[in-house]
Structure 1
Amino acid sequence: MATKYSVKILQQKDIDEILKIQESWLIDKKGKDIKPSKLSRTISAFANTNGGDIYLGISHTEDKNEYFWDGFINEEQMNDFITMIDNMFSSYEDYSLETYQNCNDNTLILHIIIGKTSKIIYASDNKAYIRQGVQNIPCDTDEKILRLHLDKGLASFEDEYTQATFDELKSSSILSNFLSKVSPTTTPYDWLRRQKVMDSNARITVAGVLLYDECPQATLPKQSAIKILRYHTDEVEGTRETLDEGFPVTIEGDIYTLIHESVKKTKEIVEQPGVVGKEDIEAKEYPEVTLHEIITNAVLHRDYSIKKDIQIRIFTNRIEIESPGKLPGHITLDNIMQEQCARNPKIVRLIAKFPSPPNKDVGEGLNTAFNAMTKMQLKQPQIKTTDTSVLVVIRHERLADAETVVWDYLQTHSTISNSIARSLTGITDANKIKYVFNRLKDQGKIQIVSGTQGSATLWEKTDEKITILSNEQLTFDGF
């Protein structure tokens, strides 16, 4: 076997927990009698979608209402499966294996953990599969294969050629203003050819139209604008009845303009008194940098092959920004804050050449957006996915008051410092945090850790020590 894996002995309670797990788009269970070639379809589907876990050696009753342990007698019986899995992947980083041993009869099951891969993974029948619900769907048409390439970031719609030509773009004020500031001696023709957004027949790519056309929406209708909707409700879904008069508002233009105008309009709407406040009487404020970074992300990383505009939905208690397209490449909800994968690398690179580019914090945009919410003592945004889009929800919900945050932290940590308290509460002023500590001290809840002082001062709970001293005092008095 080419890869190593761990062996863990499970007690009955652990076995029961595994048997309780229900199959889903991220979980599958297979009996040990399945053929390796058939199992490879599930592995392909998980790898090509969002990853997942497979428990091999767990079967179900005929009515499929109950699972039961149906393990291998020994490790050798698993070898064909392990060899098949090894052959499917070029890197051990994309999967891992664990063997669970039943404490009652010593039989084994194989836990296969599949990561979302940056490459397309094919099953033993040379077909690629994707996961939809609890089904493994084959990509058996050219259209499905192309869609998988786009979802994986292996191909980008930004390089597709449009009906627009150089004759239509050469007089664009967007392009001429850009070149006058960035490269005054370069002609429009030379720039477009050099940046590979125009071919020898003067056809302009999707990226070229989005970046330099005055109205890309004429060439790319229903897939290059932003629609803003305002609802007077905090329900999960907005309705026609709760949609404010005059909405939706459509923002159009090149993507540089699109980003800045959408941020400006969104901020203008949410800060109107009586529009998004509680019971329509209170204005609410969101950090502009949060709106800017999340809208920038939605525009630069959306899937332009999907004929649907970006939507910004403003509710009484939140803003939702929905960008068409799945998370690209190897990006998942778990690693999106740390990893990078540009679906439209050419657009990302070229818009960064504009004066004051919207993506100046390359690779740090989401972190900047989240940190800005914390500084305003608002809860951080939530990132969700649907079958066809990425949704960011920015809620106008206050963090707990600073004293509560500090006290909750000390329930699971022995000490807290001023700097940690500032990062947790979003309060940047060290003196304000001192007041928080002193208020808790006056309540008899915390005290300074002996021997710490100045900028290195640490605080700890007092209740445990008080209890110990009281017991000691009681003992002393008893003598």
Structure 2
Amino acid sequence: MDVREISSEEVEVILSYEESHFRDVKAIDIQPAKLSQTISAFANTAGGEIFVGLDEVDKSDGTTVRSWRGFQDQESANGLIQAIEGLSPLGNFYRAQFLKCAGQIGYVLHLIIFKTREIMNATSGTPYVRRGAQKLPVSTPEALARLQLDKGITTFEDNTLAVPLDIVTNSVTVLEFLISEVPTAEPETWLRSQMLLATDKPTVAAVLLYADVPQAALPKRSSIKVFRYRTREEGLDRETLAFDPLTIEGPIYDVIEKAVTHTKEIVESIKKIGESGMEEISYPDETLHEIITNAVLHRDYSIATDIQIRIYDDRVEVESPGRLPGHVTVDNVLNEQFARNPKLVRLINKFPDPPNKDVGEGLNTAFAAMRRIRLKEPQVQESDNSVIVHIRHERLSSPAQIVLEYLDANDTITNQIGREITGLRRDVQMKDVFVALRKQKLIEQVPGKRGRASAWRKA
């Protein structure tokens, strides 16, 4: 196994790590069965790393002190390695290396655990999940069913609904689709051939695709809510709502198109200070289209919450219910593919001008479109029950460069204007940029202007 010699500075960094959703520390005395619980939790959630060989002592004042006490030699960790290997027949769910530092005791085992496609059990046979810095056993049938949905092992799109069959066999949506795509097929025959009907009940996928109003059968989980907040601040404050939230309904093919159109119209109504004064904010059409399409097709429909699109003065946030499925994480989401709802993905692609033309390439297209117009790439964040994509209207240029470009076209710049054009949120952050530019003798403060009226100009 690889051994890496690290510096004393790196040791101090490792000792200062806080245990979190993605990191844990253990002493070398940990039993293999106990370690397997932590490994199971990371593999079943979002992956993470474990340092084995760090002691913790709780002090009377409530603080915790860590010290380095590694294995005497590499063979001393064989029992743990064997237990880890036994958790999965392929053994490709982790990477391991020993860390050693001159002046420190022994070898610390550093484990990197990857999120797995399948459910991984601890040696006891019980699977665990990670929540914050805790590992929680999946000990009830309901919790196991939830984990299977989160992992994409089962999919809610195949569940049947207790609604009349004709909401999908006699809808305007299915008739128009079949006339254009499968003109010789009868609705019920075709839907059965696609495994969208079970006995006399339609599946969730059938209702989402072909019912005229899926929201009647799937309330609170098949609409999109659009919010416009007149602020750049974080959080949801009703006082800053520009208007009552929009609710977009209909079959998912229509929902995607309407959501993209409404979002684009609202975004283009926002004004922002730019180099030439007040300018319209805009995002590439492909970015909004692909991210909203991805949210609709890959959300977890078992969760009774609508997709939310939140439009702020400087960003758009698209929140899709459900965690990332399978082995997908925020770090590999652009490179890995896993369809939580494979029927939705496949069948919506049969519609005229489908929203997912390049199946599997949607987010890559969205990110590339932002780069082309020199805006920062979207940021993907995973919470306990949802995935949020942040699309910020921030240029790739550094704040200092943006300030200098602004002063090429304008005589002066203030802190407020600087924050508007750079995307920096705090006065002190913007002031630091100005001070750094002044030290380089590139700008100077405008004489006679102080306090909130202070301004800067080219030196």
The 5-angstrom pairing of residues 28-43 of structure 1 reads 28-43=24-39
Deviation at 1:105, TM superposition (A): 5.8
1:14 aligned residue (10, 13, 28): 10
2:349 aligned residue (349, 352, 356): 352
Q: Residue deviations 1:209-255, cap 9 Å, x none? A: 0000000000000000000011111111231110013x200000000
Whole-angstrom CA distance in 2 between matches of 1:116 and 1:105: 32
SS in 1 for 2:280: coil
Query: Partner of 1:160 in structure 2?
Result: 159
The count of corresponding residues between Structure 1 and Structure 2 is 398
Kept in 2, the 8 Å contact 1:276–1:317? The answer is no
SS in 2 for 1:92: coil
Kept in 2, the 8 Å contact 1:130–1:139? The answer is yes
SS in 2 for 1:161: coil
Query: Partner of 1:188 in structure 2?
Result: 187
Identity over the aligned pairs, expressed in percent? 48
Whole-angstrom CA distance in 2 between matches of 1:235 and 1:11: 41
Kept in 2, the 8 Å contact 1:94–1:117? The answer is yes
Which amino acid is the alignment partner of residue 86 of structure 1?
E
Query: Partner of 2:54 in structure 1?
Result: 58
Which amino acid is the alignment partner of residue 25 of structure 2?
K
- 1:24 matched to 2:20: yes
Kept in 1, the 8 Å contact 2:271–2:281? The answer is yes
Deviation at 1:57, TM superposition (A): 1.2
Whole-angstrom CA distance in 2 between matches of 1:343 and 1:337: 16
Kept in 2, the 8 Å contact 1:119–1:152? The answer is yes
SS in 2 for 1:391: strand
Deviation at 1:154, TM superposition (A): 0.6
Whole-angstrom CA distance in 1 between matches of 2:282 and 2:299: 26
**Please, what is the CA RMSD of the aligned residues?**
2.1
Relative to structure 1, the CA distance from residue 13 to residue 282 in structure 2 (aligned partners, 3 Å threshold; closer, same or farther) is: closer
Deviation at 1:66, TM superposition (A): 1.1
Relative to structure 1, the CA distance from residue 263 to residue 81 in structure 2 (aligned partners, 3 Å threshold; closer, same or farther) is: same
Using structure 2 for the length normalisation, give the TM-score: 0.83
Which amino acid is the alignment partner of residue 44 of structure 1?
S
Deviation at 1:258, TM superposition (A): 0.4
Query: Partner of 2:452 in structure 1?
Result: none
Larger Rg: 1
Q: Residue deviations 1:101-136, cap 9 Å, x none? A: 342366222111100111110001110000011110
Kept in 1, the 8 Å contact 2:68–2:104? The answer is no
Using structure 1 for the length normalisation, give the TM-score: 0.80
The 5-angstrom pairing of residues 284-433 of structure 1 reads 284-400=281-397
SS in 2 for 1:220: coil
Kept in 1, the 8 Å contact 2:122–2:128? The answer is yes
Kept in 1, the 8 Å contact 2:40–2:129? The answer is yes
Q: Residue deviations 1:40-70, cap 9 Å, x none? A: 1000000001111111111101336111112
Kindly report structure 1 stretches of 4+ aligned residues shifted beyond 4 Å: 278-282
Q: Residue deviations 1:8-47, cap 9 Å, x none? A: 2344333222212221111111111111111110000000
Query: Partner of 1:412 in structure 2?
Result: none
SS in 1 for 2:310: strand
Q: Residue deviations 1:254-284, cap 9 Å, x none? A: 0000000111111111222xx4545996532
1:49 aligned residue (20, 33, 45): 45
Kept in 1, the 8 Å contact 2:374–2:396? The answer is yes
Q: Residue deviations 1:142-172, cap 9 Å, x none? A: 1110111111111111111111232332210
Query: Partner of 1:216 in structure 2?
Result: 214
2:245 aligned residue (248, 255, 258): 248
Query: Partner of 1:434 in structure 2?
Result: none
Deviation at 1:372, TM superposition (A): 1.5
Whole-angstrom CA distance in 2 between matches of 1:10 and 1:106: 13
